[in-house]
Amino acid sequence: MPVRFSETPEPVGVPIVLGDIRGVIFDPSRAAVQSRVDVYPGEIARLDVAARFGSEEDAYGWSNLSYSSNPPWRNPDWKLPRGRYLVSVTVSSSGEKCHTIFRLLNEAGTHDFRLEPARSEDHIGS
């Protein structure tokens, strides 16, 4: 799943009404599948990887594609029921790659929904 950089423009549409017809016009310049930014040495860039809405128990993986999913913001392919997940993040720059594993916790209420560093005991299949 492609992730999105938090600071990139959101590909949100502009609602329109033509008589009895309602719709949304999307700005194609904001609808890129991939979210890319320049991050220079010493800088920090935040990534959006998942979202949870209101009192819903399920969370969803989050990317620019989430804005056009059906239902909105909830891509069924990226549904994350209550539980604990491992998130693998790889960043490529100048031919080098950095790889880190995080733990995504979706086990309780929205106040406890969070991403944190993986622990040494975390592994695939746990």
Q: pLDDT, tens digit, for every residue of 80-95?
A: 999 999 999 888 877 8
**Hey, where are the domains in the chain?**
4-117
The string over 61-95, giving b where at least 16 C-beta atoms fall within 10 Å of a residue's C-beta and e elsewhere, is bbbbbbbeeeeeebbeebebeeeebebeeeeeeee
Q: Is the dihedral of CA 114, 30, 22, 77 positive or negative?
A: negative
Residue 70 and residue 56 in contact, taking contact as beta carbons nearer than 8 Å: no
pTM of the model: 0.76
pLDDT digits (tens, 9 = 90+) for 33-59: 556 778 888 888 888 899 999 889 999
